[in-house]
Chains A and B, each alone.
Chain A
């Protein structure tokens, strides 16, 4: 090893044993429980899970956007080798949006309704890069072009655009400063299926062109297979399975993963009855991930099965 320059590119994001708690007046909940994953340069990593599993909390933790009552209680987050949790407020200011950017859930509804799209995009450039308005306008037009929106729409107000267009504007704003990592939290949930497909294609194109890594969060597993290289499934704050996207779909090992995949009835073949996850089913005491085949880890205990708490209380 010595004497040989390590030519492997450094991982963009290394999350190790991250834990986040919500400290309320009456009780404390573990929202994220010893979660670990890495994202390499140009890689798209998918994080799947349902409401309340902690995926949004984990994403917010990466960008240090958590606030009371959420507290990061353990683990580390390394971005490009730097310790994110130790960054000062000044460092964080330049870290956010320049190096990591986020597209939030329902972001298209959080555009400022009383400012034009153009002004909002230009704001990014004038604030972060200290550009003049003129320069910013040029960059804003380029950005809209990147997401295939006519530059004339710079003068439009958010309510004059469709949901899909607004989402593209938001995505454009997120990539404005060419961040290394783009976090997207359910970017297509509120959109119709047709628009959703177009947005996904747009994201793929942008990634090809600008080369950023993606952390893609969603509850819809089938969206991920197109975009993501690797995926993880999250339940109750813990990872239950992680693998290469195609491999996960082809061979899901954890019952929860299987339930998520089966939740979407097939579009072909005879209509056969599917069994969903019963409502009383809870997975408790989720063990650590173990490798079940190269690159494919699942939270199965040593017997290869998993403790399922079924039935009613």
Chain B
């Protein structure tokens, strides 16, 4: 098996014991490997990512407290640079950028996570079904998946958004439709790999029903890859939502990072160099994506011990002698 064989990734997560490591003098009962969550918290990258993400979520939840009132109300002079009164300055229209950014996080994060969950759920269902119900269904589902993968994403997004009534619901629907296929491929592959293991064969031989095998035998072994897929789709969703809204295809009345950017562009902030009007929202998107990516790296490292960064010195150069 290669280092990237998904089934090995998963099973190592549970056993945490590469085969070559000697059992010399080990007790018969090994210590329980810690769960995914706890080892994530120990991993530096994941921890950093979680902190940043938690920060953003906290700010989103506290937006009504920190910046009460409707953020799109004009509260000051247009296009003012950051000052004591308006920490992030004002938009060309005269709205408080800080308030807009804080309130914007609510919509962006909400859509991001809802789409993430929905798309991952669809991908998971497709992947598990493909793996488990036979060649005909697998071929059919693979065809559908491939069609969705091949369709160019942005034009599809644009067309769908243009034809459907504007609103957050549309955005979420559209992003889910375009976002599920990539995850489906990966999850199908992982599910198939697990399907071929002896323990699934043993479950079949024991007489377990198919659905039970799918959800109680195969799925729990896919935890880390499901998490990775989920985080990936969330990143996609936040970015794509911003993109749609920037193009004016979202709901302009909603306050979100993307619409903030849209209005900044529309009102000439970009042209005139009023950087404070668009940098906060843009930076926020970047930081959230960064945080999610860090968590993703962390999950990857935890599931596959070979990726851990600990002291990887070159091969056989003599540094291993410590007499």
Contacts and interface: CB of A to CB of B under 8 A. Distances in A.
B284 to A, nearest CB: 36
Given A29-B26, A53-B22, A66 B318 contact: no
Given A25-B310, A68-B312, A74-B323, A89 B318 contact: yes
B24 to A, nearest CB: 4
B25 A30 contact: yes
Interface residues of B, number: 23
A22 interface: yes
Given A73-B322, A85-B321, A87-B318, A68 B27 contact: no
Contact of A29 (B21, B29, B317, B322): B21
A56 interface: yes
B323 A66 contact: no
B178 to A, nearest CB: 37
Contacts of B25: 29-30, 236-237, 284
A57 B21 CA distance: 9
A143 B318 CA distance: 31
Interface residues of A, number: 35
Interface in B152-176: none
A31 B320 contact: no
B310 A73 contact: no
A65 interface: yes
A29 B323 contact: no
Contacts of A284: 25
Given A25-B310, A72-B321, A313 B28 contact: yes
B311 interface: yes
B216 interface: no
Interface string A88-102: 110010000000000
B29 A57 contact: no
A65 B24 contact: no
Given A53-B24, A54-B24, A67 B318 contact: no
B321 A68 contact: no
B101 to A, nearest CB: 41
Interface in B6-21: 20-21
B322 A68 contact: no
Interface string B297-323: 000000000000011110111101111
B29 A31 contact: no
A68 B320 contact: yes
Interface in A63-119: 64-68, 70-75, 85, 87-89, 92
B23 interface: yes
A52 interface: yes
B87 to A, nearest CB: 44
B320 A88 contact: no
Nearest to B317: A89
Contacts of B27: 313
Contact of A22 (B21, B29, B317, B318): B21
Nearest to A86: B321
Contacts of B310: 25, 68
Interface string B23-57: 11111110100000000000000000000000000
B316 A66 contact: yes
B320 A66 contact: yes
Given A29-B21, A85-B321, A65 B316 contact: yes
A83 to B, nearest CB: 11
Nearest to A71: B322
Contacts of B23: 51-52
Contacts of A74: 323
Nearest to A234: B24
B29 A313 contact: yes
Nearest to B315: A67
Q: Which of the listed residues A25, A68, A73, A85 has the most CB atoms from chain B within 10 Å of its own CB?
A: A68
Contacts of A51: 23
Interface string A29-57: 11101000000000000000001111011
Contacts of B22: 22, 29, 31, 52-54, 57, 237
A71 B24 contact: no
B24 A29 contact: yes
A22 B318 CA distance: 16
A31 B24 contact: yes
B321 A71 contact: yes
A24 to B, nearest CB: 8
Given A73-B323, A85-B321, 15 more contacts: A22-B22, A26-B31, A29-B22, A51-B23, A57-B22, A64-B321, A67-B316, A68-B310, A68-B311, A68-B320, A72-B322, A72-B323, A87-B318, A237-B22, A280-B28
27 contacts: A29-B26, A31-B22, A31-B24, A33-B24, A53-B22, A53-B24, A64-B320, A64-B321, A65-B316, A66-B320, A67-B315, A67-B320, A71-B320, A71-B322, A72-B320, A72-B321, A73-B323, A74-B323, A85-B321, A87-B318, A88-B318, A89-B317, A89-B318, A92-B316, A236-B25, A237-B25, A280-B28
Interface of A: 22, 24-26, 29-31, 33, 51-54, 56-57, 64-68, 70-75, 85, 87-89, 92, 236-237, 280, 284, 313
